[in-house]
Amino acid sequence: MFLQIEEKGGYLEALKGGLVQSQIKESASQRRKALASRREILLGTNQYPNAQETMKAAVEPSKIAKKTQKTGLVEPIELFRSAEEFETLRLSVENAAKRPKVFMLTYGNLAMRLARSQFSGNFFGCAGYEIIDNLGFATIEEGVEAALKAKANLVVLCSSDEEYAEAAPAAFDKLAGKAIFVVAGAPACTDELKAKGIENFINVKSNVLETLQGFNKLLLF
């Protein structure tokens, strides 16, 4: 890198030509992608967040993602903090008229339903949504009724891949569009479930930030 800068005529010339800025932007872009997909972890921000924590009383939104403007001879280097996009996400939830509720419809295989409800609570907690967890329901109908009674905005089915083929369509039909339905996992029957109208799936390969930004657009007003 030193040699590359020397070839451009030195640091000041490299700065004037935008080489330094472009390299820093590329590095920041790669970090943003890694953070959004949780390939890089920020404990308490994009992994294991405290969903009950609030931040708007302590943080000024204008200072989270302030952009610099080009002036004079040199394009300024943009400031970048790893947590800023997740902070913006949470602040939009805190400033909304109503905090979204996420209901874990835990059903079937004990180990899988508990593991997936924990994963899902962690996932949606990154946006500061209210998480309603459950130990398990004997039937899908019982779980959906409880979700509707709780006035949930999102209902996340947490079960095993083998049970999703029957349980997911049953829950989706029972909800009848009264809440956004989500399947926790990436089961082999995903294409079949999509063909039946089920659109939302979350798993370890999901881009957490983009997924939550999408839900915010649907839920916040």
Residue 118 pLDDT > 60, yes or no?
yes
Residue 214 pLDDT > 70, yes or no?
yes
Three-state DSSP class for residue 168: helix
Average pLDDT (121-139) is 97
What is the reported pLDDT for 74? 86
Mean pLDDT of the chain: 92
Token pair of 16 as six digits = 């004037």
Average pLDDT (83-97) is 93
Name every residue whose Cβ is closer than 8 Å to that of residue 13 and which is 6 or more positions away in sequence.
Answer: none
Could you tell me what percentage of the chain is helix, strand and coil, using 3-state DSSP and rounding each to the nearest 5? 45, 15, 40
Average pLDDT (191-202) is 97
Which tens digit of pLDDT belongs to each residue from 102-116? 999 999 999 999 999
Residue 94 pLDDT > 80, yes or no?
yes
What is the reported pLDDT for 164? 98
Domains identified in the chain and CATH numbers? 2-94 (no CATH), 101-219 (3.40.50.280)
